[in-house]
Structure 1
Amino acid sequence: MKVIYSSDQQEHAPRAFISSGRLLDSPERPERAERFLEAVRAAGHDIEAPGNFGRREIAAVHGVDYLEFLETAHERWSALPDASPEVIANVHPGRHMAHRPDHVVGQAGWHMADTACPIGAGTWKAARSAAHCALTGMRFLLENETPVYALCRPPGHHAFADMAGGFCFLNNAAIAAQQAVAAGRTVAILDIDVHHGNGTQGIFYGRRDVMFVSVHAHPGDFYPFFSGYADERGRGEGEGYNLNLPLARGAGDQDYLAAVEKGLAAIRRYGADCVVVSLGLDAQENDPLGILSVTTEGFRRAGRLIGRAATPALIVQEGGYLCPELGANLAAFLSGYLDR
């Protein structure tokens, strides 16, 4: 399988992560990409660097004000007296405030949903490179009608059109999906990360030209808490084109695979001729951020189910954090997909 990867993505090395009020080391660290890269190399996949795209393809999904914030925030933040090494929002607008301020501290709260997405000196370069990996992968799929894996880091599915969150800055899967829409394709996104792809849902919630299907842990007591419920079906023209399949805490291979099959059936009914898979490996039983119990073999079987669909997929890396099985989980999924 063609693999798209750039070492520029390693320049994002976040330090801070606040979980339940505790300041911890970020689990979204450069070593994640190193583990994924080792796995695809060991499996003999063909690795290529991404092409260089301009801002137009990214701006088709993300607002100009937001992109300017991402590009300039660290420099502006660093000019503040006694600034921290990373941009971390300490105030957010909440539900009853709706004015975007000019000051970088206020803009951080406006454009960052939580404290899990600190912006460092290399964040913009890495996020842009991850988006270019997804765009290059989609271009390859459209030209060759063969599957491709975009090794994207930082991940993207928690990024809204104008807001970062949950380790994510640019929504790689959404950017690639929009590229396919522009090429005249009927697109579906299948998100199988343990966390609901709230950013992706938000981007396409009022649209019918991209169907979004998410298999994830129930958000009642789990990130992102505020979306991912089964009654969220889309809005306006998009009503009926959003499908959430939340799973109970501790669900294992059987329930996970049944939900994946249900999602694929919905995508077939929709008639998609282009599929983007947001591949999260954090549903694994030993993942430090997960609450499901999917095994490595479960990922192999999920890959096989998705691979048996008639439409070749762009597989975009989302979550999956440092545990002994991380590389094996990726290798198993890709092997299962190719074994279709």
Structure 2
Amino acid sequence: MAGRADDKLSVLLALVPYLVAQRVVAVEEAAEQLGLTPEAIREAVRLIALTGIAATAGEEPMHDEMFDIDWDAFLDEDVIVLSNAVGIGEYLRFSSSESAALISGLTYLSRLQLGERAAMDDLAARLREGTVGDPMPLLVSSATNGVGTADPDPDDGVLALVVAARDAGRRLEFEYRSGKDETLRRQVDPLQVYSDGPDWYVRGYCHLREGLRNFRLDRMIGPVMTDVPVDDHSDLPLEDGLFHPSDSDLQVVVDVAAGGLPFLVDYLADDERAVVGDRTRVTLRIAHLPGLVRLVSSLPGLVRVVAPEPARLAVEHWAAAAAARYPSEDAGTAAAGDSAR
């Protein structure tokens, strides 16, 4: 089983529960079932026989704390007989409230048809089996917000409507309040529905902008599903990620502190990097300045805007306005300077 350590670990993670379930299995059969070579199976079995529960420092593990196999059957007949398995049944289980919350969320998503229903039902069944006691009875319906509370979520109706339009292949029409605080009438062919944290979005072809756009559901006003079928958009690139560039994007140069760059991957304009002190200088593509302000404010202390000047001033003004709400004037000046200097 020569190869990388993580490849070996993947084999072991697949083989151990398989052997625990089978107890007796031929090497050839195990190799076929797991998609491995017989020699890889044999090497993994030899390694498993040397493992077990970690012993106290300075002490040898006891026999019943180690995996054990029938070596005669393994060496003479090429059959794996697992005679002792340790640790497998001692995994942590979800509490009843944790399991109920997860099952409620899966049920909610299943009813909205935001994934493979059979897969979600199977996962919910597995959660019930892996719970300490019976899951708490949390109700999930179209009148709840999906986490078992009685408070209605105003976006639930919009989300259900958008999902229905996407599944039916029908065009949506609504007023939309953008990040620039502009409200325009939009006609959109819905293509994808997804969430980013607590916010739900629909990604679709906007007939006003004649291109692919993202729309946040809580900014949609009076959405309706029309009788107009969506156009053929098979040529559009529906990649993962929230941000998709357009020709009207702003190019913004920022210095990013260590640990902040992974949060900006979807916004990078190119692959160029430059080290400036203890930060990395990159260029971002941003749709508009309010969006830049929100992005910087979500990463406090990690992003410093360098150019262009309007972008730097927008963040500086936001930081100054935010700092003015606090009694310390010195702290406000430092915050504004650090984000936009």
Normalising by the smaller structure, the TM-score range is under 0.3
Higher strand content, 1 or 2: 2
Calculate the TM-score normalised by the size of structure 1.
Answer: 0.26
Calculate the TM-score normalised by the size of structure 2.
Answer: 0.26
Q: Relative contact order (alpha carbons < 8 A, sep ≥ 6): 1 or 2 greater?
A: 1
Larger Rg computed on CA atoms = 2
